[in-house]
Amino acid sequence: MQNLENTNVLTRGESGVIAGVCSGLAAHYGLRKNGLRLAFLLTSFFFIIPTFVYIVLWLVLPKYPSVEAMRRNLRRKAQLRKSVGSE
């Protein structure tokens, strides 16, 4: 069974240029924000599908993590502080 403490929630990013979709995807998958934005712009010039995908993700993804995800994140940060402080 998967450990729920290590789950990463896919949300829109906090530092978004338009809606934060590229920022959220980059944070979730460990990519560079500007690289993902550039890839989106380049593919949008040649194809219309990335624009539709961006709009759908903008509507579907929550802006902030759910309450449970925020609790897990705060617990994880508290545990990290304890482990760093005890060293």
- Is residue 10 within 8 A of residue 66, CB to CB? The reply is no
- Segment 51-55 shows an average pLDDT of 88
Q: Tell how far CA 80 is from the center of its chain.
A: 21
For the full predicted model, state whether its pTM sits above 0.75: no
Tokens of 37: 């934005």
Percent helix, strand and coil across the chain, each to the nearest 5: 65, 0, 35
- 52: pLDDT strictly greater than 80: yes
| Residue of 7, 24, 23, 13 whose CA lies nearest to 68 | 7
- Is residue 10 within 8 A of residue 24, CB to CB? The reply is yes
DSSP letter (8 states) at residue 30:
T
Going by pLDDT thresholds of 50, 70 and 90, the confidence category of residue 74 is confident
- 3: pLDDT strictly greater than 80: no
- Segment 58-73 shows an average pLDDT of 74
